[in-house]
Structure 1
């Protein structure tokens, strides 16, 4: 059995349809003729690699794999940093107001 190949445009459109949410992902996958989990992998690739997603066929070089992994890690760390900044601002404002949830009640 030959492995299916899909163009980058097909993958991007499939992800767009999936994110639009007009149909359940399982139904969309069936209509497109792809496994459901592949749609999730394509979405993840677009989120982590952006315009560099779906650049060709074949395996990635070790350097490409490392770069993709590092980009994913940077995105996760930036998200964590944003959350921590928001939490810091929240607790700082709660502390200034002297609200019951603040740390000043000890």
Structure 2
């Protein structure tokens, strides 16, 4: 959310989860939490949009991170193979 809220993000997430998991009406959950029902309804709508389709920026960032991690794994596997061969070579030399 770009604008600040008087409610912490974790509180908003917990409130949305409570609405989803409870069989109580949204208005009652909002009343119990001391939140305006329209505010809570907006949080639920925002959360549903967030789950339906991740933002393009977040998706691109995830793909970039995945690409970087795969590259790092390939580098580490190559290093491991080099070290394995070196260890075998030196084990043979020491065995003479």
Question: Which structure has more helix as a fraction of its residues?
Answer: 2
Which bracket does the TM-score occupy, shorter chain normalised?
0.3 to 0.5
The structure having more radius of gyration, on CA atoms, is: 2
TM-score (norm 2): 0.44
TM-score (norm 1): 0.40
